Amino acid sequence: MMESVSLAVAERIPVDEREAASIQIFLEQFARLEHPFDEEADAVHVTGSAIIIGRRGVVLHLHKRLGIWLQPGGHIDRSETPWQAALREAREETGLVVRHPAQGPLLVHVDVHPGPRGHTHLDLRYLLEADDEEPSPPPGESQEVRWFSWDEAIAVADSGLVGALRALRPS
C-alpha cells in the first residue's frame, strides 16, 4: 500500500503553490517513515479526509477545537487505507451516507499542516459523493455540519482547503 500511496501523491498535479509544497514535503517525509499511517509511531503521520460533494454543493464542518470550517477527516486506523479512513471519518463526523465516485477512490488534494500535540499531518483528501440529505452528526462530534454552495464554501473554508474547492467547483 505504501508504494501506491507514494505514487498517487507523486502523480498529483497541484492546484496551487501550497499543494505543490505539500506534495514535496509529503514525499520527503513519507519516504523516511517506517509506519506512516500510525499516529503513535511518529509525530509526522498520514491522515485521510473527505471533500464531500453533491447537488447541493460541499459539506463542511466547524472543527470543534480549531473553530474553522474544514472537510471531515482524521487519523487512519490500523487496518485501514487512507481512502477508507476518509470514508469512515466522513460518515462519523457528518452522519451522511457517503461513497467514493463510481471509478473508485479519487485523491483530489494533498495538504501538510500542523496537528495537535506538535504533530504534523500529511493529509490525503479524497472526493466523496453524498445525496442531498441533511447532515446528522452524532453526539460528541461537531454539530455545526452543513451543505455550502461552492462560493460559500470557498469564502468560509480554511485557507488550506480553498485551492482544492476552487479546482473541484463545477464550471
Q: CATH number, domain at 111?
A: 3.90.79.10
Range of the domain at 122: 2-168
Cell of 168: 473541484
User: pLDDT tens digits, residue range 11-37?
Assistant: 999 999 999 999 999 999 999 999 999
Q: Quote the pLDDT of residue 135.
A: 97
Identify whether the C-beta of residue 85 lies closer than 8 Å to the C-beta of residue 74: yes
Identify whether the C-beta of residue 39 lies closer than 8 Å to the C-beta of residue 46: no
User: pLDDT tens digits, residue range 30-57?
Assistant: 999 999 999 999 999 999 999 999 999 9
- Measured distance CA(143)–CA(165) in Å, rounded: 22
Residue 157 has pLDDT above 90, yes or no: yes
Q: Quote the pLDDT of residue 101.
A: 97
Residue 66 has pLDDT above 90, yes or no: no
Residue 137 has pLDDT above 90, yes or no: yes
User: pLDDT tens digits, residue range 93-107?
Assistant: 999 999 999 999 999
DSSP annotation of 138 reads P
Q: Quote the pLDDT of residue 156.
A: 97
Over residues 109-121, the mean pLDDT reads 92
Identify whether the C-beta of residue 101 lies closer than 8 Å to the C-beta of residue 109: no
Mean pLDDT of the chain: 96
Helices 159-168, 17-32: axis angle to 10 degrees equals 110
- Measured distance CA(28)–CA(64) in Å, rounded: 31
Cell of 101: 465516485
Q: Quote the pLDDT of residue 140.
A: 85
Total domain count, the chain: 1
Q: Quote the pLDDT of residue 62.
A: 95
Cell of 53: 460533494
Residue 112 has pLDDT above 90, yes or no: yes
Q: Quote the pLDDT of residue 116.
A: 82
Q: Quote the pLDDT of residue 115.
A: 84
Q: Which of 40, 47, 33, 52 has the alpha carbon at shortest distance from 111?
A: 47
Q: Quote the pLDDT of residue 3.
A: 93
